[in-house]
Structure 1
């Protein structure tokens, strides 16, 4: 769900920016009249430092998470599961923390809040947040994202327990070497 919202808002923002470059074209007029509330001007859409920081965090978090997928090879799953031929991966980012892909995901979400929450973004400048529906949607999305992040933090000990059950002493040794779950020296 979060990815769908992320891509939808990103595509809308790109469409408005492109339409703004060709404002006399019929398709551009339709896009701008549909996606910008009355009295709002698309010229308010700008890339500022916060938006650039957000875009950078999204890119870095995504690349880091993809790296985690590659290191885990076929053992990476989105559902909590331990496969029959599962191996304990202790190299790459897994030599630093036990759940590095979650760090990538948290970085992506922080980037989304920076990009979409800053002045100059379509969400802030279109007027959509001034509507009841827009406010309810964004509030619900924010609550969902925070709940999801808290859920990730709660899921890590459950994953650790499943891996400990499967790998026993090997996992215990690795957990002593790699005591942190997401950020070295922090958590």
Structure 2
């Protein structure tokens, strides 16, 4: 019973927090196109649907890549919770500088503290960790496909953010890039 409710329950709690804090953003002076944002969101929704739908609705994706077991499930739950908490911490540290759409706000600040001292895009780090954890709780190929979709959606967004942050902050952002990795501490 807990196996079917705990993973989506963690995501639901995170979504409630995300929604509740979305109204704090500063006024936007530059934003990505609505079509680009929709494509990113739809890709993430598709990734979530791959994990949420019953495996019999997804022929071929219900096969296991790992044996079923309590250990793998709880490791996955731990990673999911850790990833969602890391993303929430990053969102809290961004404060009013956050936006769901790639954007530059009026009075935008370059945040380099908290999780931003570990990675430049900790929200993406957290989300990808949570997707990977959720995939482990399933142990099925549909979870792997969902992680791949999440990587595609977030990597494209990350590339655009990087370009805009360099344009906005110049040398301070370039120095930050040289010191702090994008997604995985010490690697990517």
Length-normalised TM-score, structure 1? 0.61
User: CA separation of 1:63/1:6 partners in 2, compared to 1, >3 Å: closer, same or farther?
Assistant: farther
- 1:82 is paired with a residue of what secondary structure? strand
Displacement after TM superposition at 1:155 (Å): 2.7
Q: Which residue of 2 aligns with 1:88?
A: 110
The yes-or-no answer on 1:116 pairing with 2:138 is: yes
Contact 2:128 2:147 in 1 (8 A): no
Higher-Rg structure is: 1
Across the aligned residues of Structure 1 and Structure 2, the Cα RMSD in angstroms comes to 2.6
Question: CA–CA distance in 2 between the matches of 1:53 and 1:99?
Answer: 23
Question: CA–CA distance in 2 between the matches of 1:185 and 1:152?
Answer: 19
Gaps of 5+ in 1: 13-45, 119-137
- 1:174 is paired with a residue of what secondary structure? helix
Q: 1:52 aligns with which of 53, 56, 74?
A: 74
- 2:178 is paired with a residue of what secondary structure? helix
Displacement after TM superposition at 1:150 (Å): 2.2
Question: CA–CA distance in 2 between the matches of 1:54 and 1:69?
Answer: 22
Contact 1:6 1:112 in 2 (8 A): no
Q: Which residue of 2 aligns with 1:22?
A: none
Q: 2:151 aligns with which of 142, 149, 152?
A: 149
Displacement after TM superposition at 1:76 (Å): 1.6
The yes-or-no answer on 1:168 pairing with 2:173 is: no
How many residues align? The count is: 131
Q: Which residue of 2 aligns with 1:20?
A: none
Q: Which residue of 1 aligns with 2:119?
A: 97
Length-normalised TM-score, structure 2? 0.60
Q: Which residue of 1 aligns with 2:184?
A: 183
Question: CA–CA distance in 1 between the matches of 2:76 and 2:50?
Answer: 12
Displacement after TM superposition at 1:175 (Å): 1.9
- 2:105 is paired with a residue of what secondary structure? coil
